[in-house]
Amino acid sequence: MIRIAIAGAAGRMGRNLVQAVDEHSEAILGAASERPGSEALGQTVGREGTVRMVEDLTRVVDDFDVLIDFTSPESTMTHLELCRAGGKGLVVGTTGLDAEQEERLRVAGESLAIVYAPNMSVGVNLTFKLVELAARALGDSVDVEILEAHHRHKVDAPSGTALKLGRIVAETLGRDLEHDAVYGREGQTGARDRRTIGFATVRGGDIVGEHTTLFAGDGERVEITHKASSRTVFASGAVRAAVWLAGAGSGLFDMQDVLGLREL
């Protein structure tokens, strides 16, 4: 049985993660944390109601094997160091990490088992593979646009999933996303450069997450869309990753590794 810790266990995503752990036959909740000052500190969570939420996971580091973190970039880096010191596995679903923080994950992966993915949904990760296949087949004959929509509370844009879709297209077509990405358009923009990869962002209401990659050619277009109606799909995928990670050696992995899609 894999003992899992949940960071931010009282939040929207944290509650779903706790439920997903409780429902998994090979996992058990070992520890849970909340931010300093949270009213949830000291409350118990989990199937047995015996796991008390703490402010500092170093107090309970012996109670878990893998930590799942969907918090903030700063908190994730703190938890990374905790896992390195304690030899614990780490599943990171936090978005908005900058290049330096992603490099820290890569370096830590030389001695630690980490799964880092902007989206833990099984369906989204299948979508990543389909977008790669479409980009490979359609090549430079189409314009590529990525549209995403999320709830009003999401603080980063474009979403990590949208950026991942853009990177997949860019890498498949031999482009540089840093140079070729266009984030929104306004005014007299001129004719579209086919090498660009466009992003459009919507924020509103309680939209859980929607992503469409549009391949628009002359006379036809291909749209690959994933829509999530519940956060449970992300939580279930993260717990699946944590259980898989417990049997893996050191390395920086993603959900393509967890699901065995990389070889396809």
Which runs of consecutive H residues, i.e. helices, occur in 54-120? Answer: 73-86, 99-108
Is 150 a residue of the active site? yes
State how beta strands 89-92 and 113-116 pair: parallel
Is residue 24 annotated as a catalytic residue, yes or no? no
Active-site residue identified among 24, 79, 88, 150? 150
Strands 51-54 and 2-7: what pairing? unpaired
Three-state SS string across 12-56, please?
A: HHHHHHHHHHHHCCCEEEEEEECCCCCCCCCCEECCCCCEEEECC
What end-to-end distance do the CA atoms of the chain give, in Å? 30
- Give strand pairing partners of 199: 146, 183
Query: Do residues 112 and 90 make contact, with C-beta atoms less than 8 angstroms apart?
Result: yes
- Active-site residue list: 150, 154
